[in-house]
A = this chain, B = another copy of it.
Amino acid sequence: MTLASREIRLKRRPVGLPKAEDFELASVALAAPQPGQVLVRNHWMSVDPYMRGRMYDRPSYVPPFGLGEALQGGAVGVVEESQSPGFSPGDLVESMFGWREAFVAPAGAVTKLPKTSAPPQAFLGILGMPGMTAYGGLLEIGQPKPGDVVFVSGAAGAVGATVCQIAKIKGCEVIGSVGSDDKAAWLKERGADAAINYKTCGDLATALKAAAPKGIDIYFDNVGGDHLEAALEAARPFARFVECGMISAYNDTTPKPAPRNLIYIVGKSLRMQGFIVTQFMGLKDQFITDMTSWIAEGRLSWQETVVEGVENAPAAFLGLFTGANTGKMLVKLA
């Protein structure tokens, strides 16, 4: 028996903002699983800003995507056939074999998901990599204390919205920056003390100063650029900058010289720190326990933006750079 699976391949390396023509749809025939292998049908796949980095051909902490090959990324699916004693048909599993409808892989390359009341796609968002990024980045790098003022950019995204809510749970004052009034309203409903629409607020540093007249103790950076400069301006002495991402720069063809006020790192004794989510894997049990409790108590929730069909995965990915998503951007495959 063979099964057809459609997949998205990287056709050429994007220059600047990626375009639909940088991707191509293809179909492959999957052979039946061999001993030690499983056949999985993906139900959900994730698109994330970090994937832009893997489209460049340059050394990084993960190798670049290969041209003409299927892209990779987080996916949640169901085992359809198993030649491994550890898996049975019907098992819900996650893998890095996203961007395709189905796949055959060694059993060791997929992970069975724990049973929770959360829907399966939550393991690509609030209970998955973006959730762990928010949890580990804020708690381990940001080290929030009750009363701290926390500024979050990309605050309606999968990571940012989770950071805002965890910061509130930890007793902080939270200011989020978002790209629409609808996102701002949702963020305030979820407990943020202030939400800045960076597209309409005028000078961002002035808007941040108005929202945080005494300054900020933590900046959770998803954006870089002007947001980072405004945060440096507003930083209190010994503030922590959690450098999660700089989406404003991911598509730059020539590097932007910014920010202009980096010297505040010296004068204000700031700490700016990047991280890789995998460094928090030791926290995974605590993460699942905390997050599922907070969800059950109604203190943590999330939004999803869902696109249907693998053929629309490139459009979903491109939408990340125009703020088309509120919360986690997902592609539903089955």
Decide: A272 and B275 in contact? CB cutoff 8 A. Answer: no
Residues of B within 8 A of A255 (CB): 260-261, 263
Residues of B within 8 A of A85 (CB): none
Query: Which has the most chain B C-beta neighbours within 10 Å: A257, A260, A271, A274?
Result: A274
Decide: B270 and A274 in contact? CB cutoff 8 A. Answer: yes
Do A273 and B265 contact each other (CB < 8 Å), given the known contacts A61-B237, A237-B61, A257-B257?
yes
- Bound form: Cα–Cα A270–B263 in Å: 17
Residues of B within 8 A of A264 (CB): 274
Quick one: closest B residue to A228, CB to CB?
B262
Question: From residue A121, how far is it (CB to closest CB) to chain B in Å?
Answer: 26
Contact of A272 among B244, B246, B261, B273 (CB under 8 A): B273
Decide: A272 and B269 in contact? CB cutoff 8 A. Answer: no
Do A260 and B257 contact each other (CB < 8 Å), given the known contacts A243-B266, A269-B274, A271-B271?
yes
Residues of B within 8 A of A269 (CB): 61, 273-276, 279
Query: Which has the most chain B C-beta neighbours within 10 Å: A249, A272, A279?
Result: A272
Question: From residue A260, how far is it (CB to closest CB) to chain B in Å?
Answer: 4
Contact of A53 among B53, B267, B274 (CB under 8 A): B267
A142 interface residue per 8 A CB criterion: no
Residues of B within 8 A of A334 (CB): none
- Bound form: Cα–Cα A266–B221 in Å: 10
Contact of A266 among B245, B261, B266, B279 (CB under 8 A): B245
Question: From residue A226, how far is it (CB to closest CB) to chain B in Å?
Answer: 12
Query: Which has the most chain B C-beta neighbours within 10 Å: A256, A257, A267, A268?
Result: A267
Question: From residue A263, how far is it (CB to closest CB) to chain B in Å?
Answer: 5
- Bound form: Cα–Cα A237–B244 in Å: 15
Question: From residue A270, how far is it (CB to closest CB) to chain B in Å?
Answer: 5
Question: Which A residues, 220 to 267, have Cβ-Cβ distances below 8 Å to chain B?
Answer: 224, 228, 237, 243-246, 249, 255-267
Decide: B265 and A262 in contact? CB cutoff 8 A. Answer: no
- Bound form: Cα–Cα A273–B243 in Å: 13
Question: From residue A136, how far is it (CB to closest CB) to chain B in Å?
Answer: 12
Quick one: closest B residue to A264, CB to CB?
B274
A286 interface residue per 8 A CB criterion: no
Residues of B within 8 A of A289 (CB): none
Question: From residue A290, how far is it (CB to closest CB) to chain B in Å?
Answer: 23
A117 interface residue per 8 A CB criterion: no
Decide: B274 and A273 in contact? CB cutoff 8 A. Answer: no
Decide: B237 and A263 in contact? CB cutoff 8 A. Answer: no
- Bound form: Cα–Cα A228–B265 in Å: 12
Do A274 and B279 contact each other (CB < 8 Å), given the known contacts A224-B263, A237-B61, A257-B259?
no
- Bound form: Cα–Cα A272–B268 in Å: 12
A60 interface residue per 8 A CB criterion: yes
Contact of A246 among B60, B61, B266, B273 (CB under 8 A): B266
- Point out residues on A near B: beta carbons under 8 Å: 53, 60-61, 224, 228, 237, 243-246, 249, 255-276, 279
5 interchain pairs (CB within 8 A)? A224-B263, A244-B266, A256-B260, A264-B274, A265-B274
- 5 interchain residue pairs of minimum CB distance: A257-B257, A255-B260, A265-B274, A271-B273, A266-B274
